[in-house]
């Protein structure tokens, strides 16, 4: 560490915080020198200790397909400007603290709620140690109203207990748009960023900090007038995406019943510029964001803003529709196989999206649970995941033997699945193949049919 460089503390070293720590540590000044010394902080738990140890050994704490992220961590470790600890005293040296402490949603629909206990404790810890003038930037996706109704009051209480002015720590909000995968690091440093401040001082300080980390020449910042606006921007952004995905599911069922290829229809529509981002049907929605964020405005309105009368029916229905998507694949498979009891199935892909090792809220879990409930023997494989934490199962990262398989379900479009040597892998086996997520193109489907496999797809009529 260099005593002349400002210190940035990243609170929470999960998939967002660990990548943010790498991005901030990679920021360079006009002389090519690190702009910041970065300290990542996590809880003294087994998982927190694992993440801290990885960063202190110059390794990114999660498996990633992005070599530049691994390289950034290794370089920062070599230069000595990235360390990690569980000691909250580190906040006392910080010029900036970035809060990346997750908030889980419990319950569904109108009964959904957020337990702020851990989040409040994390914010209070910052307030108990940070020096006056330290900028607190909340990156966590939160119910609208959280910064004003939770973060600022918690910091004020902690500062008052220290005999300091209650507004000694400026508060800003700038939501993450981190996208794990091959462009993991780029999704932070080479992407548009939205931010706001609790007051003008905080907004100006946040702009200066983000401008030192992000490529704002090519990806200009957008300032919104208040934290509730930027909090809403994040949940609206993700709610829009979740809703458009859910919308396509009913069209997928129509295409299957009517016997046409919905993917080709969508490709034709996408030629119209106003519809270029139209979605397609798939296996399901997973990950930490789209599975919960559409419920956050309802929670914010009810619990923080005193407006229980405000409802979000489209958001609630999108969540319900997306949770049911993997069950559609299970039902289609059961219909084609005459039931799932005793059938041997191979599920290709257990992470929630291609190129990542993250299995949180993966739709594959919903599929596996349902197929096993119906009596199927389900084998799983994923080139990115060696252990499926939620199910407590080892997952082979190479293809298992195909003998005795009744069906293969392609659930995640990992790049590795594009180059499977089907003839060599299948041998004499001829399982049914269900492409549940647009993994196979026309050529690969035709190849499998020439080998003698029945190949069907979600969003396509039989035999297409």
The answer to whether residues 427 and 387 belong to one domain is yes
The answer to whether residues 217 and 257 belong to one domain is no
Percent of the chain with pLDDT over 90: 96
* Domain assignment present for 239: no
Give the pLDDT confidence score for residue 3 in this predicted structure.
Answer: 72
The answer to whether residues 151 and 292 belong to one domain is no
- CA nearest neighbour of 198 among 160, 151, 164: 151
The answer to whether residues 402 and 439 belong to one domain is yes
- CA nearest neighbour of 374 among 362, 384, 385, 366: 366
Give the domain extent around 313.
252-457
Q: For 64, which DSSP code?
A: B
Give the pLDDT confidence score for residue 392 in this predicted structure.
Answer: 96
* Domain assignment present for 432: yes
Last residue of one domain, picked from the residues 159, 194, 228: 228
**Inter-CA distances, 26 with 34, 231, 427, 449, Å:** 7, 27, 48, 49
CATH number at residue 269: 3.40.50.720
DSSP per residue over 192-255, as a string? -EEEEESSHHHHHHHHHHHHHHS-TTTS-EEE-SSHHHHHHHHHHHHHHHHHHHHHHHHHHHHH
pLDDT, average across residues 131-159: 98
* Domain assignment present for 241: no
Give 2's pLDDT tier (boundaries 50, 70, 90): low
Q: How many domains does the structure of the chain reveal? A: 2
Q: Is the pLDDT at 1 greater than 80, yes or no?
A: no
The answer to whether residues 101 and 209 belong to one domain is yes
* Domain assignment present for 32: yes
Burial of 44 (0-12, 13-18, 19+ CB in 10 A): exposed
The answer to whether residues 21 and 132 belong to one domain is yes
Q: Is the pLDDT at 306 greater than 90, yes or no?
A: yes
The residue with tokens 């829009």 is 240
To the nearest 10 degrees (0 to 180), the angle between helices 227-258 and 262-270 is: 130
Give 4's pLDDT tier (boundaries 50, 70, 90): confident
The answer to whether residues 141 and 96 belong to one domain is yes
The CA radius of gyration of the chain, in Å to the nearest whole number, is 24
259: Cα separation from own chain's centroid: 34
The answer to whether residues 31 and 76 belong to one domain is yes
Give the pLDDT confidence score for residue 352 in this predicted structure.
Answer: 94
* Domain assignment present for 409: yes
Give the pLDDT confidence of 169-183 residue by residue, as tens digits: 999 999 999 998 889
Give 40's pLDDT tier (boundaries 50, 70, 90): very high
Last residue of one domain, picked from the residues 228, 260, 288: 228
Give 442's pLDDT tier (boundaries 50, 70, 90): very high
**What is the rounded (10 degree) CA torsion for 9, 12, 14, 18?**
10
Percent of the chain with pLDDT over 70: 100
Last residue of one domain, picked from the residues 213, 228, 243: 228
> CA geometry: angle at 161 spanning 157 and 167, to 5°?
50
* Domain assignment present for 207: yes
The answer to whether residues 12 and 88 belong to one domain is yes
Instruction: Give the pairing of strands 432-435 and 455-457.
Output: parallel
* Domain assignment present for 245: no
To the nearest 10 degrees (0 to 180), the angle between helices 227-258 and 313-337 is: 30
Q: Is the pLDDT at 137 greater than 70, yes or no?
A: yes
Q: Give the span between the Cα atoms of 207 and 202, in whole angstroms.
A: 9
Give the pLDDT confidence of 230-277 residue by residue, as tens digits: 999 999 999 999 999 999 999 999 999 999 999 999 999 999 999 999
Give the pLDDT confidence score for residue 111 in this predicted structure.
Answer: 95
Bridge-partner residues for 356, per DSSP? Answer: 64
User: Would you tell me how many other CB atoms lie within 10 Å of the CB of residue 113?
Assistant: 16
The answer to whether residues 296 and 408 belong to one domain is yes
* Domain assignment present for 350: yes
The answer to whether residues 371 and 331 belong to one domain is yes
The answer to whether residues 198 and 263 belong to one domain is no
Give the pLDDT confidence of 378-389 residue by residue, as tens digits: 999 999 999 999
Give 288's pLDDT tier (boundaries 50, 70, 90): confident
């Amino acid at each position: 560490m260099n005593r002349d460089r400002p210190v940035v503390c990243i609170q929470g070293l999960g998939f967002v915080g660990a990548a943010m720590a790498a991005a901030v540590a990679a920021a360079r000044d006009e002389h090519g020198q690190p702009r910041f010394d970065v300290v990542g902080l996590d809880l003294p738990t087994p998982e927190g200790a694992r993440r801290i140890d990885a960063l202190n050994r110059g390794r990114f704490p999660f498996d990633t397909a992005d070599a530049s992220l691994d390289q950034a961590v290794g370089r920062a470790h070599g230069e000595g400007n990235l360390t990690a600890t569980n000691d909250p005293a580190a906040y006392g040296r910080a010029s900036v603290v970035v809060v990346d402490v997750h908030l889980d949603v419990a319950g569904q629909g109108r009964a959904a709620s957020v337990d702020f206990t851990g989040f409040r404790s994390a914010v209070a810890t910052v307030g108990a140690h940070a020096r006056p003038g330290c900028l607190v930037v909340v990156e966590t996706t939160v119910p609208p109203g959280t910064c004003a109704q939770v973060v600022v009051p918690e910091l004020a209480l902690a500062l008052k207990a220290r005999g300091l002015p209650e507004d000694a720590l400026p508060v800003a909000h700038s939501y993450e748009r981190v996208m794990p995968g091959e462009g993991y690091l780029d999704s932070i440093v080479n992407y548009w960023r939205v931010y706001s401040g609790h007051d003008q001082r905080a907004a100006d300080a946040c702009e200066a900090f983000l401008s030192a980390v992000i490529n704002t020449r090519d990806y200009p910042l957008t300032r919104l007038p208040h934290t509730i606006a930027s909090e809403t921007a994040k949940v609206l952004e993700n709610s829009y995406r979740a809703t458009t995905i859910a919308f396509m599911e009913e069209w997928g069922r129509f295409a299957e019943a009517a016997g046409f290829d919905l993917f080709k229809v969508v490709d034709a529509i996408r030629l119209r510029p106003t519809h270029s981002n139209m979605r397609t049907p798939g296996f399901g929605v997973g990950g930490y964001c789209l599975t919960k964020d559409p419920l956050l405005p309802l929670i914010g309105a009810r619990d923080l803003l005193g407006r229980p009368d405000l409802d979000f029916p489209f958001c609630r229905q999108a969540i319900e529709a997306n949770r049911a998507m993997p069950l559609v694949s299970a039902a289609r498979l059961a219909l084609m196989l005459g039931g799932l009891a005793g059938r041997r199935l191979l599920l290709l892909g257990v992470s929630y999206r291609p190129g990542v090792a993250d299995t949180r809220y993966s739709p594959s879990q919903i599929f596996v649970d349902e197929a096993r409930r119906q009596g199927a023997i389900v084998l799983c494989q994923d080139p990115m995941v060696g252990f499926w934490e939620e199910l407590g199962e080892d997952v082979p990262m190479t293809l298992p033997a195909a003998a005795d398989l009744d069906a293969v379900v392609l659930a995640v479009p990992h790049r590795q699945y594009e180059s499977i040597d089907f003839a060599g892998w299948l041998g004499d086996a001829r399982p049914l193949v269900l492409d549940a997520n647009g993994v196979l193109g026309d050529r690969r489907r035709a190849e499998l049919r020439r080998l003698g496999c029945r190949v069907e797809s979600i969003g396509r009529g039989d035999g297409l």
